[in-house]
């Protein structure tokens, strides 16, 4: 299976996915820590992929998402953005309804 196909399969199988450096409990960069913390604050479950442990995914994901940096949040297969966007959407109230809808 090609790496891009693996990514698409992950996005199909998980309505909310955070591609990050490290894990939510042990993030390995400040931006990933912020995005994971914002998601965790909602209480809604999400999948994650540690791109440091999956270098082929780290290399191929920007090709799939057309988004160059990490972390990357996807909801229902659509890229939402990185930590700044996630935090801004959480603060504005936009993020929670999107997460709730995806998780339902």
Q: What tokens appear for 59 in the block?
A: 């290399």
At 2-48, the pLDDT tens digits run 999 999 999 999 999 999 999 999 999 999 999 999 999 999 999 99
DSSP reduced 3-state for 25:
coil
Alpha-helical runs (H) found in 1-104: 3-13, 30-42, 55-65, 83-92, 95-103
Flag whether 71 is marked binding. no
pLDDT tier for residue 69 given thresholds of 50, 70 and 90 = very high
- Superfamily covering domain 3-103: Glutaredoxin (3.40.30.10)
Total Cβ atoms within 10 A of residue 43: 9
At 47-62, the pLDDT tens digits run 999 999 999 999 999 9
pTM: 0.95
């Amino acid at each position: 299976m090609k790496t891009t196909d693996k990514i698409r399969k992950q996005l199909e199988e998980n309505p909310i996915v955070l591609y990050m450096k490290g894990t939510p409990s042990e993030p390995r960069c400040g931006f990933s820590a912020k995005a994971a913390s914002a998601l965790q604050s909602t209480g809604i479950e999400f999948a994650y992929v540690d791109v440091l442990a999956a270098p082929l995914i780290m290399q191929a994901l920007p090709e799939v998402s057309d988004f160059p940096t990490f972390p990357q949040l996807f909801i229902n297969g659509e890229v939402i953005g990185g930590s700044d966007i996630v935090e801004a959407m959480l603060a504005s109230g936009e993020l929670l309804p999107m997460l709730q809808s995806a998780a339902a």
